[in-house]
């Protein structure tokens, strides 16, 4: 386990060691507050797009199910008859130039694993650039859109936004409640009071704190052939190798166990790069990975390698709230 993984574990398990980083945390909090205040006060300029912009982000470090939720929102907007596009930082991507219009044929090293997954699954227009405002401008220059979703970017205040949605892992919550590097928070917890909606991944019911949503496994997809199988393809009790290079690998392992399989856990760092040698596990068993990891492994996939497709399922109340918010914003911009 690397230093980053040990620190992440300490943040979410109540270990006392991160308290030693309190002086650095105080500095981080001050910088984060000052940055936000500069934009709120008008001292720093935020570029506003000519169409609604929705930011879907995190206040914590670690996985929260953001990519499946972005995919749900893309399809929901389309069902409302809206033309939607997505921008992303493209973490770990090294495109030839920026901003970069992501193509389905791009290598994961070029486009980044999450943007490539979103594009390949939904075929939504997608541009990556650490400068989100520049990404939105490039996207709108290429596509007539009614709405733009920003995949992450809650703390990227150079891009003005119409709605802020924050996702939180319901099981892990805000961890020890501290900001980086003493805890997992990117901004102080009071930031949640200013966002438009909070969604809790793994919560089956809405609460006063926010909406609930779950990730539903829908199918097994073979990496080599693209063949799609039902979840009954593996019998209960099937032993298999489970690979997860995501922010919270344990959630993936728990999902496989809930399907009554017996996964051998292989946790990797978030956005990890894979090779055939790194995944050559013994004994020889079927291998199941996340869809985000699969986009990086297709070139060397073995016949019995699969990914588990999952879909976000938000509460009925959130669906109604989202529809109303999006339709009102689009109508306002159309005036």
DSSP-assigned letter for residue 270: T
Instruction: Locate 254 and state its tokens.
Output: 């728990």
Tell me, what's the pLDDT at 1? 54
- pLDDT (tens, 9 = 90+) of the chain, 335 residues, equals 566 778 888 999 889 999 999 999 999 999 999 999 999 999 999 999 999 999 999 999 988 999 999 999 999 999 999 999 999 999 989 999 999 999 999 999 999 999 999 999 999 999 999 999 999 999 999 999 999 999 999 999 999 999 999 999 999 999 999 999 999 999 999 999 999 999 999 999 999 999 999 999 999 999 999 999 999 999 999 999 999 999 889 999 999 999 999 999 999 988 899 999 999 999 999 999 999 999 999 999 999 999 999 999 999 999 999 999 999 999 999 98
- What ranges in 14-65 are assigned the alpha helix state H? 22-40
Residue 139 shares a structural domain with residue 237:
no
Query: Residue 50: which residues within 8 A CB-CB, separation 6 or more?
Result: 140, 333
* Shared domain check, 308 and 172: no
Structural domain count of the chain: 2
Element (H or E) spanning 163, and its range?
A: strand 163-169
Q: 76-80, long-range: CB within 8 Å, 24+ apart, which pairs?
A: 76/319, 76/322, 76/323, 76/326, 77/146, 77/147, 77/149, 77/326, 80/323, 80/326, 80/327
Instruction: Mark 39-50 as b/e (b = at least 16 C-beta within 10 Å).
Output: eeeeeeeeeebe
Based on the fold, state whether residues 200 and 304 are members of the same structural domain.
no
Question: Residues 187, 247: one domain?
Answer: no
Q: From its phi and psi, is residue 62 left (phi > 0), alpha (psi between -120 and 50) or beta? A: left
CATH number at residue 131: 3.40.50.300
d(Cα 329, Cα 335) in Å, to the nearest integer?
10
Say if residue 84 is in the same domain as residue 96: yes
Is residue 285 located within the same domain as residue 246?
yes
Residue 15 token pair: 């270990």
Domain co-membership, 58 together with 200: yes
Residues 171 and 275 placed together within one structural domain of the fold? no
- Same domain? For 157 and 239 the reply is no
Same structural domain, 93 and 231: no
Reference 211, options 332, 95, 316, 296; nearest CA is 316
Does one domain contain both 268 and 323?
no
Q: What is the bridge-based pairing of β-strands 53-58 and 147-151?
A: parallel
Phi–psi pair at 32, nearest 5 degrees: -65, -45
Expressed as residue numbers, the domain containing 161 is: 3-212+314-334
- Please indicate, yes or no, whether residues 149 and 122 belong to a single structural domain of this protein: yes
Q: Is 253 within 8 Å of 244 (Cβ atoms)?
A: yes
pLDDT of amino acid 4: 72
Instruction: Judge contact between 287 and 279, C-beta under 8 A.
Output: yes
Angle formed at CA 328 by CA 323 and CA 333, multiple of 5 degrees: 130
d(CA 148, CA 145): 7
pTM here is 0.94
pLDDT at 6: 83
Which burial class, exposed, middle or buried, applies to 190 when counting CB atoms under 10 A from its CB (0-12, 13-18, 19+)?
A: exposed
């Amino acid at each position: 386990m690397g230093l980053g993984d040990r620190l992440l574990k300490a943040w979410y398990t109540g270990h006392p060691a991160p308290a030693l980083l309190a002086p650095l945390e105080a500095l981080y909090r001050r910088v984060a507050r000052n940055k936000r205040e500069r934009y709120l006060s008008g001292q720093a300029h935020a570029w506003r797009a000519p169409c609604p912009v929705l930011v879907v982000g995190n206040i914590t470090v670690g996985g929260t199910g953001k990519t499946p939720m972005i995919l749900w929102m893309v399809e929901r907007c389309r069902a409302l008859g809206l033309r939607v596009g997505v921008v992303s930082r493209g973490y770990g991507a090294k495109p030839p130039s920026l901003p970069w219009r992501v193509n389905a044929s791009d290598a994961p090293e070029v486009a980044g694993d999450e943007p490539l997954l979103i594009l390949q699954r939904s075929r939504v227009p997608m541009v990556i650039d650490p400068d989100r405002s520049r990404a939105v401008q490039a996207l709108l220059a290429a596509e007539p859109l009614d709405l733009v979703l920003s995949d992450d970017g809650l703390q990227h205040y150079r891009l003005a936004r119409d709605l802020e949605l924050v996702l939180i892992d319901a099981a892990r919550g805000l961890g020890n409640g501290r900001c980086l590097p003493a805890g997992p928070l990117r901004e102080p917890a009071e930031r949640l009071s200013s966002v438009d909606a909070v969604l809790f991944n793994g919560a089956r019911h809405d609460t006063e704190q926010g909406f609930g949503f779950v990730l539903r496994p829908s199918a097994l997809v073979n990496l080599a052939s693209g063949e799609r199988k039902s979840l009954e393809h593996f019998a209960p009790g099937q032993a298999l190798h489970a690979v997860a290079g995501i922010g919270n690998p344990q959630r993936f392992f728990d999902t496989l166990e809930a399907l009554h399989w017996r996964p051998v856990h292989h946790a990797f760092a978030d956005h990890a790069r894979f090779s055939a040698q790194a995944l050559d596990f013994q004994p020889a068993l079927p291998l199941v990975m996340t869809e985000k990891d699969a986009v990086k492994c297709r070139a060397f996939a073995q016949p019995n390698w699969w990914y588990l497709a999952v879909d976000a399922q938000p509460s009925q109340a959130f669906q109604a709230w989202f529809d109303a918010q999006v339709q009102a914003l689009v109508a306002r911009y159309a005036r």
